[in-house]
C-alpha cells in the first residue's frame, strides 16, 4: 500500500474546537434584524375534514404580523422522492388532515409568547373522520380510506429470482417466522429549525438544519412557486439528523412562506414534543420469512412478506420498503428468492428515512431467523453465516454487483476477537453471546446523482475547498479536507473548507445512503487533481521539466528523483498568480455514481445495481440478562466493519460507537407509543433513549479491502454499522435465556412475560 501523509491519519475534526468551545453556530443561534417568531398550529384529530379556518382573532392580536393557512399556498403536493405519481402531501393542507399533529396554520409574531397566544385564537372547524392506525386493519375491506388508493396500500414492491417453490422442494428443512419492529424517532439533540428571509428583489434565503440543502431548495421552489435561482439554502452547523432532516417539513416551508408574506425574517423551531409527534419516524414493519435450507446449512430459498406502516404520507417510504427487501438477499447467498412489500397508509405520523433506511428492519428479521435455523440444524451460527456469506464478484438476487467485500473476514475477526468458540458454551447463567451480519449501500443515487467540488489555490499556500456535501456531525468536512490535502501534497491545516450553501458550492445530493465518502470524496479528489495538474503545468515551464516528472509532497514541488530541483508550494502558486498574464488556479471535479440505469418500474421491484459500492460488517455482542427484573445489559460489542481504506480511523471508530448506541435503543428501550394516533411518550422523560450509562465497551475492528471505485480505496460506513446490532442483541438474549423474542424492543416486561410463558 502506498505511503500517505494525511489520509489514514487519526486527525481531529476541523470543527472540533469550535464545537467544544461553543463557538459553532447552529440555526437556532442565528438572528437577523427585525426577525419574527413563527409557530405552527397542529391538528388535534388523526383524521378530519377541514371545514373552515378563521384566523381573524389571531390577526388582530397586537404583535402578530400574519397568519397563513392552506388557502395561502399554491396547494401543490410534494414527496421526498421526486416522482409526481407519489406526491401526496401538502405542507399546509387545504381540506383534510391525516395524522394528529399535522400542520394546519402558521403564525408570525414579534416574539414566541405572542405567537403561542395567537395559535390559541385561531378557530378551526373540523369534521372528524374515521381513522385507522394498524396497517393490517387498514388493508381490510371497509377500513377508513386515507387516500384514494385501494386497501390503503400506498405502494407495493414485488421481486423474485428463480423458483422459490422449487427451492423449498429441494430443501431438507423449511422454517417460517414473523418478526415485528416498532416506531422509533430520530432524537437529534437539535430539533428541526429554520430561518428564512425574503427580500424585496424576490430572493429567498433559508438557513436550515438540513441534511440535503439542494433537495430542500427543490421542494421549496416547487411548493412556493419561486425559481430555483432565486432560492439560497444555507446549512449552518447541524446538531444531528440521522435521516430525519433529509426532507422538507412544515418548519422550512412555513418559515419561508411567512417571510414572503411579511417581507421580514422569520425563525421557527420544533419543540421537543413536536419533534416526537410531527417530525417523522422509522417505519414499523412486520416481516414474515419462510426459508429453506439443506441439512448442511446451505440456503436454498427465501420468501418474505413485509407489511410496513407508512403513516399518513409517502415521504421516503416507497424506497425504504424496497431496501428492506434488498437487505434480505444481499448478505447471504440464496438462489431462489421472492419478496412482496406492502407500504400501507395509516393515520399515524408519517415514516421517513432513518439511519439504516429499511435495512435495519430487514436485517433484524433475517439474522434472527438465521440463528433459529442454526439452532434447529445443530450448526454453529458463525459457521452457518460463513458458509452462505456473499463474496466479491457476486451478483445478488437484487442485482447488486459486489466489488470489494470482506464479509467473511468481518465474521471471522469479530468472532475470534470476542472469543466465540472458547467462551460461548462456558458463560455463566444469564450471560449470552450473539452474532449478526450487515450490509449497506455506499453511494446510492436518489434525487441528485452528481457531486461536485472546487479547489482554489492561494498565494500563501492555502487551499479553499468548496463542496455541496453536508456535514451533519458525521465529520465529512474533515474527511474531504484530508482527501484534498493528500492529493495536493499540502498539510491538512492548509485546507479551508466551505460546504453547505446552494449559492456558493457545487451541487451535492446530501448526507444519506453513506454516499459522502465515495461521491463527494471522489469529486474533491478530482477537483484537487485538476488544480494540481494546472499548477504542475506552469511549474514545469519554470523547472524545464515534464509535468509528469513532478511531484508535490510536504508543501514542496520537485522533480522526481532530483528533490533539489524544486520550489515551495506557496512560492509556486504565488509566482503564477503574480506573473504578467497570470491565471487563477481553480480545480473542478464532479462524480456521478457508476450505477446501471434503473428501468421505469425500478421502484416497483427494487432491483438494480443502485450503488457504486457496498459495505459489510459483523458484530458479536455480549449481554447479561437479569431473570428477576428482565433487564438486558449489553456488556461488550465487538464490531468488525468493512470500510474500504480508512481515511480517518478516529472518525470511523466514532461512527461505529454512535451506531451501536443508536441500535441499542432500537433493540431494548425505544418505542414511540401511540394510541388512536396520540403519542403517549413525547419527551425524553418517557421515551427511553439510552445514555452513556447503558453503553457497552465497543471494540472496533476496521477491515480495509480496497474499493476500486472509492477515493484512495475508501467507501462509506456511517449507516451500515447500525444494521447488525439489533439482531446480534436478540441472538445474545436467546443464548442467555433460551427464549426468542420476535418483536422489538425487548423490554423488561416482554422478557419477563416470555420467561413466564417458558415456565408454564
- Distance (Å, whole) CA 74 – CA 261: 13
Q: Is the pLDDT of residue 448 over 70?
A: no
Please give the angle made by the CA atoms of 726, 729 and 733, to the nearest 5 degrees.
Answer: 140
Cell of 519: 461521491
Cell of 344: 400501507
Interval 172-183: pLDDT, tens: 999 999 999 999
Are 459 and 574 in contact, with CB atoms under 8 Å apart? yes
Listing from the earlier edge strand, what are the strands of the sheet with 562-568? Answer: 550-553, 556-559, 562-568
Band of the pLDDT at 21, cuts 50, 70, 90?
Answer: very high
**pLDDT at residue 531 greater than cutoff 60:** yes
Using CB atoms within 10 Å of the CB of residue 451, give its burial: 0 to 12 exposed, 13 to 18 middle, 19+ buried: buried
User: Distances in Å between the alpha carbon of 236 and those of 196, 206, 500, 518?
Assistant: 13, 10, 8, 23
Between 544 and 79, the higher pLDDT residue: 79
**Mean pLDDT to the nearest integer, 576-597:** 79
Is the model's pLDDT at 580 over the cut of 80? no
pLDDT per residue over 719-745, tens digit each?
889 999 999 999 999 999 999 999 999
Tell me what the mean pLDDT of segment 116-125 comes to: 98
Strands 336-345, 299-311: pairing is parallel
Q: What architecture is the 16-23+450-592 domain classified under in CATH?
A: 2-Layer Sandwich (3.30)
Residue 609: φ, ψ to 5°: -80, 85
Mean pLDDT of the chain: 94
Fold of 285-444+599-759: Aldehyde Oxidoreductase; domain 4 (3.30.365)
Indicate if 285-444+599-759 has the same CATH topology as 16-23+450-592: yes
Return the CATH class of domain 31-129+189-240+245-278: alpha beta
Do 605 and 159 contact (CB within 8 A), yes or no? yes
Per-residue pLDDT of 751-760, as tens digits, reads: 999 999 988 7
Q: Are 352 and 246 in contact (CB under 8 A)?
A: yes
Task: Return d(Cα 401, Cα 408) in angstroms, integer.
Answer: 17
pLDDT band at 450 (very low <50, low <70, confident <90, very high): confident
pLDDT tens column, 284-302: 999 999 999 999 999 999 9
Let me know: does 173 contact 369? Beta carbons within 8 Å. no
Instruction: Answer whether residue 461 shows pLDDT above 60.
Output: yes
- pLDDT computed for residue 513 by the predictor: 66
Q: What is the mean pLDDT of residues 414-424?
A: 96
pLDDT at 49: 98
Sequence-distant (6+) residues with CB within 8 A of 128 are 45, 47, 48
**Per-residue pLDDT, 1:** 67
pLDDT value, residue 509: 77
Mean pLDDT to the nearest integer, 588-605: 78
- 581 — pLDDT class (breaks 50, 70, 90): low
Tell me: the pLDDT tens digits for 333-379? Answer: 999 999 999 999 999 999 999 999 999 999 999 999 999 999 999 99
> Is the pLDDT at 323 greater than 80, yes or no?
yes
Residue 597 has pLDDT above 60, yes or no: no
- pLDDT score at 587: 96
Domain boundaries, the chain: 16-23+450-592, 31-129+189-240+245-278, 285-444+599-759
The torsion region of residue 164 among left (phi > 0), alpha (psi -120 to 50) and beta comes to alpha
Contacts of residue 538, Cβ cutoff 8 Å, sequence gap at least 6? 572, 576, 583
Amino acid at each position: 500500500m502506498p505511503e500517505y501523509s494525511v489520509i489514514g491519519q487519526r486527525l481531529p475534526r476541523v470543527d472540533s474546537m469550535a464545537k467544544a468551545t461553543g463557538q459553532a453556530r447552529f440555526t437556532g443561534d442565528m438572528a437577523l434584524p427585525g426577525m419574527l417568531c413563527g409557530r405552527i398550529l397542529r391538528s388535534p384529530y388523526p383524521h378530519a375534514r377541514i371545514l373552515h379556518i378563521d384566523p381573524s382573532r389571531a390577526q388582530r392580536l397586537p404583535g402578530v404580523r400574519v397568519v397563513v393557512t392552506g388557502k395561502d399556498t399554491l396547494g401543490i403536493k410534494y414527496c421526498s422522492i421526486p416522482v409526481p405519481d407519489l406526491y401526496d402531501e401538502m405542507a399546509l393542507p387545504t381540506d383534510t388532515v391525516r395524522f394528529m399533529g399535522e400542520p394546519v396554520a402558521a403564525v408570525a409574531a414579534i416574539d414566541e409568547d405572542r405567537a403561542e397566544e395567537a395559535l390559541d385564537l385561531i378557530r378551526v372547524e373540523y369534521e372528524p373522520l374515521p381513522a385507522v392506525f394498524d396497517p393490517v386493519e387498514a388493508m381490510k375491506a371497509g377500513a377508513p380510506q386515507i387516500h384514494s388508493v385501494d386497501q390503503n396500500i400506498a405502494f407495493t414492491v414485488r421481486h423474485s429470482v428463480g423458483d422459490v417453490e422449487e427451492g423449498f422442494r429441494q430443501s431438507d428443512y423449511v422454517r417460517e417466522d414473523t418478526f415485528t419492529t416498532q416506531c422509533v424517532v430520530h432524537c437529534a439533540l437539535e430539533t428541526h429549525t429554520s430561518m428564512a428571509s425574503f427580500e424585496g428583489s424576490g430572493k429567498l434565503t433559508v438557513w436550515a438544519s438540513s441534511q440535503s440543502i439542494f433537495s430542500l431548495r427543490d421542494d421549496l421552489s416547487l411548493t412556493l412557486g419561486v425559481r430555483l435561482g432565486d432560492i439560497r439554502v444555507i446549512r449552518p452547523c447541524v446538531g444531528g439528523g440521522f435521516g430525519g432532516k433529509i426532507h422538507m417539513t412544515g418548519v422550512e416551508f412555513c418559515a419561508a412562506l411567512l417571510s414572503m408574506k411579511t417581507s421580514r425574517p422569520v425563525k421557527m423551531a420544533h419543540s421537543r414534543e413536536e419533534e416526537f409527534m410531527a417530525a417523522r419516524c422509522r417505519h414499523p414493519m412486520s416481516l414474515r420469512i419462510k426459508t429453506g435450507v439443506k441439512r448442511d446449512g446451505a440456503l436454498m430459498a427465501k420468501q418474505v412478506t413485509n407489511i410496513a406502516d407508512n403513516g399518513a404520507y409517502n415521504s421516503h417510504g416507497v424506497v425504504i420498503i424496497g431496501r428492506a427487501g434488498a437487505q434480505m438477499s444481499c448478505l447471504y447467498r440464496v438462489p431462489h428468492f421472492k419478496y412482496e412489500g406492502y407500504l400501507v397508509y395509516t393515520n399515524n405520523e408519517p415514516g421517513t428515512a432513518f439511519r439504516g433506511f429499511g435495512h435495519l428492519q430487514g436485517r433484524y428479521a433475517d439474522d434472527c431467523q438465521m440463528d433459529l435455523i442454526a439452532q434447529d440444524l445443530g450448526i454453529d451460527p458463525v459457521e452457518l453465516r460463513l458458509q452462505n456469506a456473499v463474496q466479491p464478484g457476486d451478483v445478488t438476487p437484487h442485482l447488486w454487483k459486489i466489488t470489494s467485500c470482506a464479509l467473511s473476514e468481518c465474521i471471522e475477526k469479530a468472532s475470534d476477537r470476542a472469543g466465540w468458540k472458547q467462551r460461548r458454551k462456558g458463560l455463566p447463567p444469564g450471560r449470552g453471546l450473539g452474532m449478526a451480519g450487515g450490509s449497506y449501500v455506499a453511494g446510492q443515487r436518489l434525487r441528485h446523482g452528481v457531486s461536485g467540488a472546487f479547489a482554489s489555490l492561494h498565494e500563501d499556500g492555502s487551499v479553499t475547498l468548496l463542496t455541496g456535501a453536508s456535514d451533519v456531525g458525521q465529520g465529512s468536512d474533515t474527511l474531504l479536507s484530508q482527501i484534498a490535502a493528500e492529493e495536493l501534497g499540502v498539510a491538512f491545516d492548509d485546507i479551508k473548507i466551505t460546504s453547505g450553501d446552494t449559492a456558493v458550492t457545487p451541487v451535492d445530493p446530501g448526507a444519506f445512503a453513506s454516499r459522502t465518502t465515495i461521491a463527494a470524496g471522489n469529486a474533491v479528489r478530482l477537483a484537487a487533481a485538476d488544480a494540481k495538474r494546472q499548477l504542475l503545468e506552469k511549474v514545469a515551464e519554470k523547472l524545464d521539466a515534464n509535468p509528469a516528472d513532478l511531484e508535490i509532497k510536504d508543501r514542496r514541488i520537485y522533480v522526481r528523483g532530483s528533490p533539489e530541483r524544486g520550489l515551495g508550494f506557496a512560492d509556486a502558486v504565488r509566482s503564477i498568480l503574480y506573473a504578467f498574464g497570470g491565471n487563477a488556479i481553480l480545480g473542478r471535479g464532479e462524480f456521478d455514481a457508476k450505477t446501471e440505469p434503473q428501468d421505469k418500474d425500478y421502484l416497483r421491484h427494487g432491483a438494480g445495481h443502485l450503488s457504486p459500492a457496498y459495505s459489510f460488517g459483523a458484530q458479536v455482542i455480549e449481554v447479561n440478562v437479569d431473570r428477576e427484573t428482565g433487564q438486558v445489559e449489553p456488556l461488550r460489542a465487538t464490531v468488525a466493519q468493512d470500510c474500504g481504506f480508512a481515511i480517518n480511523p478516529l472518525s470511523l471508530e466514532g461512527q461505529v460507537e454512535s451506531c451501536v448506541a443508536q441500535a441499542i435503543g432500537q433493540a431494548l428501550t425505544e418505542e414511540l407509543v401511540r394510541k388512536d394516533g396520540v403519542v403517549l411518550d413525547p419527551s425524553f422523560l418517557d421515551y427511553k433513549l439510552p445514555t452513556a450509562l447503558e453503553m457497552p465497551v465497543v471494540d472496533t475492528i476496521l477491515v480495509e479491502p480496497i474499493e476500486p471505485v472509492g477515493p484512495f480505496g475508501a467507501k462509506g460506513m456511517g449507516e451500515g454499522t447500525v444494521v447488525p446490532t439489533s439482531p446480534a442483541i436478540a441472538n445474545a438474549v436467546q443464548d442467555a435465556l433460551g427464549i426468542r423474542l420476535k418483536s422489538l424492543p425487548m423490554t423488561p416486561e416482554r422478557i419477563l412475560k416470555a420467561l413466564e410463558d417458558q415456565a408454564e
